[in-house]
Structure 1
Amino acid sequence: MLPDIDADQQDALFGAVGKILGLLPATPLYGPPAHCNRRGLTELGVHTIGAMAKRRMVFDPDHLSVKARAASMDVIEGLRYPGVISSHSWSTPDTYPRIYRAGGFITPYAGDSTGFVAKWRRHLGWADPRYYFGFGFGADINGLGAQGNPRGADVPNPVTYPFTGLGGVRIDKQQAGQRTWDINVDGVAQYGLYPDWVEDLRKIADAQHAGDGTQIVDDMARGAEAYLQMWERTYGVRPDSCRNPGLRQDVAAVRSVVRPGMGTEAVLRAVGQPYQRLGATYRFCARSATRASVPVTVTFSRAGAVTAIAFS
């Protein structure tokens, strides 16, 4: 199992690689710790994060020192800025709940299937219920990041081919010339085996607890939407009012600000993110004098203009 990489492991990894390849000079002699990255986040760093937020850019604290990362999250929280992600597990567990609370998004390092399922379970406990939850992965495959090892063909719950992948796609073993790829014996040997890896996650999660296989795949299928919703919030769109009762507007107020002909962006600016957006409809929550939650459905034309608003 590949756990989240901690600060000591990060330094040790690059130190070992540098030593083997002869890329590092003679190791200097340091006094007693702490002596690595003692400065933390500088004033220039604080300015940079603020400037990124002003430009609606997404900030990733991965690869910072623990001290600098904690200080950077202080800045993010002070700005009340949701545009923050951890892209491939080069943060530390103290930071993950803070990213979720800010309204950010996390894609843990992919690695082996068993380790990733364990990470998913931990992140379920950290996730903030005020925001739509989806789960991604950071492969880091373009660099030196190790990819998922095979579990073996003799495990009790191997991936069986063909299987039904995301979106109902039928997936069989890939072939390249005379080479046939099998996630059970090859692991994630190339990009094209990630659908097989997701199926392996499903197998492992289901074996640990019935039904969890469906949940982890569903959470990953929602990953792109969760990322886009995080980015939407960086542009000042309020979180959805169904998950956040304090953001609900009166029915009369919603009726007055959402009018026929409005575009999707104008609706988002008026009432915040929808709880659900499927096809030509957005669903929100409002309130009335007698009901704490009144479902609202806004219907759009093919051109993206409001055609109807209904309260139920």
Structure 2
Amino acid sequence: MLNQAPNTEPIDSRGYWTLTWTLLLGLACSLGFAQESEPNGDSQTPVPSANGVPGAYGAAQQSLSWMTNSLQQMAKKLDSISAKLDPNASEEEINREVKRAMREAFADFLPAASINNLGKEPTDPPASSATDSLAEVDSTWPGNQSPIWDPKTPSWVKDRVVDNEVVRVAIESSVESSAQECIVAMDQQMVDLVQKVLDQYVLTHTQASQIEQLTPEFLTTQLVKADTQYELVLDRPSGTYHQLWRLVHIGPDQIQQIHRWERESVTAKRVQWVGQGALGALAILASASGLTGLLAKRSRNRKEFS
């Protein structure tokens, strides 16, 4: 780890040139395979280019030009990373920055037909999806065969139960770079997540945030099971990510209690609306009565003067 042996110098030159030659060889092999795999119905006869140069020679020149530009860009990015690198940075952070520089360099200078998603597995999501839910990242996979689950994943995380008697739904925190950040995020998001579960599966006439009895303490202590917690760890090319899962369990008695609170809340709001409407009607009647009396008084005064 770098934090155990600080070093303020840039990346070691021998390692730098080893990485450069490795990238060069990998790039050459990839370009060779890509050119061989391209369909060509007239491959029996070489096709000369517009300026008379044979097609193979022109393709080689183009490939070398691509490699030169890519390696130059790679060198610039590695130099930039080396200059900005924290001497106390961890090995994981360094690897993450180097992989990011590799992807950016090849994406900028290599044609998409030659090398597609270099350095990535076909099933890996783009790095920009790191802040999304990991379940959404792998939503294209069928059910329990999703690659984000391991054999130790509890069944309550993967399977939800929703009926008139019980509601069992797992809630997940946002995706973070460490387990401690997941705990903090879950503590901040838990109330909103439980309210969403109630709005979607239990309540029908109002929202959980509108019911006074559904306090944050009740939501987090009575509806979230304290002994159910699962930490999901997922390795991606851009780094390792963590997500925390907890179980919302609402039993029959709690469902009946919440429905009763819902009816009371809706009734109270309707009574309040009726009361406000009655007061408004009385105010209108009083204004109309006063206006009628004023007009009648003026009419009598006119008759007396006439």
The alignment's TM-score, normalised by the length of structure 1, stands at: 0.20
The alignment's TM-score, normalised by the length of structure 2, stands at: 0.21
Higher helix share: 2
Structure label with greater radius of gyration: 2
